[in-house]
Structure 1
Amino acid sequence: MDPIYLMNNVWIMICFTLVLLMQGGFILLEAGSTRMKNAGHIAGKTIFTVGVASIVFWAVGYGFIYGEGNSFIGLSDFFYGDFTSVVDGLAGSVDFMFQLAFAAIALTIAFGGFAERGKLSAYVVFALLFSALVYPVVAHWIWGGGWLADHGKQDFAGSTVVHLTGAMAALAATIVLKPRIGKYNKDGSANDLAGHNQVYTALGVLVLWVGWFGFNAGSTLGVDDAFFGFVALNTQLAAAAGAMAAMFIVWAVSGKADIPTTLNGALAGLVAITASCAFVAPWASVVIGLIAGLIVFFSMKLFDKARIDDPIFALSVHGIAGVWGTLSTGFFATPELAAMNGGLPGLFYGGGITQLGVQTMGVVACGLYAFIVSYIILKVMNRAMGGIRVTEEEEIIGLDLSEHGSYGYPESMPEKKKQGA
């Protein structure tokens, strides 16, 4: 057997593992960004998310994305089990596993909009429907040979497919669920419902940063030309620039180098470079990351002023940065890299506005689809299930106890101490 074929398959299985381990980063990031009384719920929900996403992707998701069909959706390869196929130079099962990990990440991002107030039963139903009806459709349009692919849409590893899609679903959830108790005052001012552990959030970001090399560099789908190293370089530079820009801007504006903002800047840089990592030069990666770090700071403030309660900052980190990252290829894609990876060069390289127009069309179409379908699903669920938000008493107690019967930190919670007294 061809040794390069074997090496490519081993490389992608390693990258699948890295992307899967990003869920551990989300556990730490989301648990640390929320209050102690919800930490166990956040952690357990993430594991459940991976389970649902895997089963639905196997049953219908992969087929909707990559199956033979039309420009809107695929219509074959359901209940995937072909051990003989070769896809993009990989064993079909290896490609399947890699793509599955991306679907699970999108769902995890979407669930950021439910944080600290969504019923567990709502997670179950929405996970099934999002994994079947929202993510696969957007992914088919861009990665599965759909209509945006026909127009030359550039999204190398998923700034639109994964991050914007998940963020728009999170936006729909925050609107339907409404803000957490105590988040906003009658005059519209916001209270800081601070997360309970900044060490967790920092470690979570580092785990995600490492996993992102599977996300971006793995999307080269091979090792034979070592192009994954260039993609990794761009990824690293953008993340570093995003962290720096976010820290310096919050420091300049508030007088304090706020840690959560710095962490979100690093993530914003990673999200932004995900679309363009194979299309731009390293200097452009730094610029993309810097702008992402600035954007995430101002968008966090904007959403708060708009009374959109986003505890995990999914809308800023994955949504706004995802839009910027997608558009950035329309500005910075070089002729050589665009020709090698598909699409046209960017505006700053003499390519005109054609590619930027395609990128903009993709952002608008995918963002609207993900938001509208998610919003409809959640509104129908809210009516059919008698509400998808926990009661006021349950929210005050915390979802650890009200939804699971035990606290993530039992020794630290007074109710648990009283029960054991």
Structure 2
Amino acid sequence: MTTYLRGLFRHPTDAEVQEVFRQNSQLEAEIETVKHKNATLKQAQRTMLGEITDLKVDMRDARYLRQDQHDEHIKECNKLRKENGEIRDGYDQLRDKYGKLVADAKQAIESRKVYRTECHQLQQRCHEATQALEKADGEADKARTQLTRFKTSLSTMTKAKSQITDGEVCSKVDQMFYAIQDFALKASRFGTFKIENLSKNYSEWLRSFILDAEASPKALNPYIIATLVSQYLVARFDPEYYFGNSSDQLVGAVAQIAKAAYTRDVSETKAWLEPTRRLLTLIDHPMLQESDALHITDAVEEIGRTLGPLLSNEWVPKAEASLRKITTSAFELFRMLQQSNAVFRMNFTGAALPGGKCYFSPELMQAVASAEEDSTLDGRQIQMLVFPGIFKFGDEMGNNQDEMTVICKARVVPQKESHPAGSMK
């Protein structure tokens, strides 16, 4: 027993120890290998779980997509069914219409046969009427020739009688100017004159006639009003307003023809205006009267809208009667001038405000708001253009269209002559 125990608890040899160490190292290596494989398997498991999750999401999305596509297909099928039903209904309606058209066509064929018979009879009657008309035309030609000669002589006499003289033109223009001037003087008393209240468009337009309107003396305020009124009225001295201002298509078309024709041939257009107006009077006299009245009303309202902010809006209704009287007289004068064989122009000859300078010319201009004689103002710079002059080209017979005659001089305000300090005037 002792021997056995000694053999059992004997000290191991080096070879045995080395073998044990070797086996231990081998086991540790195998354990590390198993651990590595285990980690790899866990990583693969996690990867597979992620892929399974993604696959589940994709399958869910695909299921939803298939459901949406299925719903869309259902909607499309329902839509197609509805359209198919509508097409069938339309086809039934077209078939009914086709049947009706076939019946109508048969009836039309029968009617055409009847119409052909009636047409043949009418052709025979027209042939007989044409022969009778040709015979009557031969007899009427002589009467037409005599009537044409009579109308020509009558037109010549009428034109000769209706020509306005230079003195009459000058007198009526003076009346128009003094009426506007009197109106401007009264209007300037109705409120504080504020040129800055003038609308932008009219303010820029006014600068074409006045040097430094905002800084002009208070004494020139009535002339600024007169300039606004006169220039607005003169802007309507044009053939297109010869027929008033109507929304009627006929009058509007005639006005546009007059406007276009005047730029091509002034004499022919002027000769055409009055006969055309008489023709419109025969067609619809109340309509032409309404067009003239509307033309005057539009002018009065526009002038009122311009001057209202400049002075006092409460003043505008009180001034309407005076404005209407002035406007009516002005438009009557314009129509008389358009009827004349001579060509009348209303403008400021030689004016160049404000970009350039305009100088006083005694032959073309007449000074207002100045105590100096016109002869002493020759060459003086112009402060304000108040009222245009009237210039006639040609004579009462329509001849010598290149010759200009000054009928009425333009009204202007010359600048006051500046004197050096210490000098005596």
TM-score normalised per structure 1? 0.21
TM-score normalised per structure 2? 0.21
Relative contact order, higher structure (CA 8 A, sep 6+): 1
Choose between structure 1 and 2: higher strand proportion.
Answer: 2
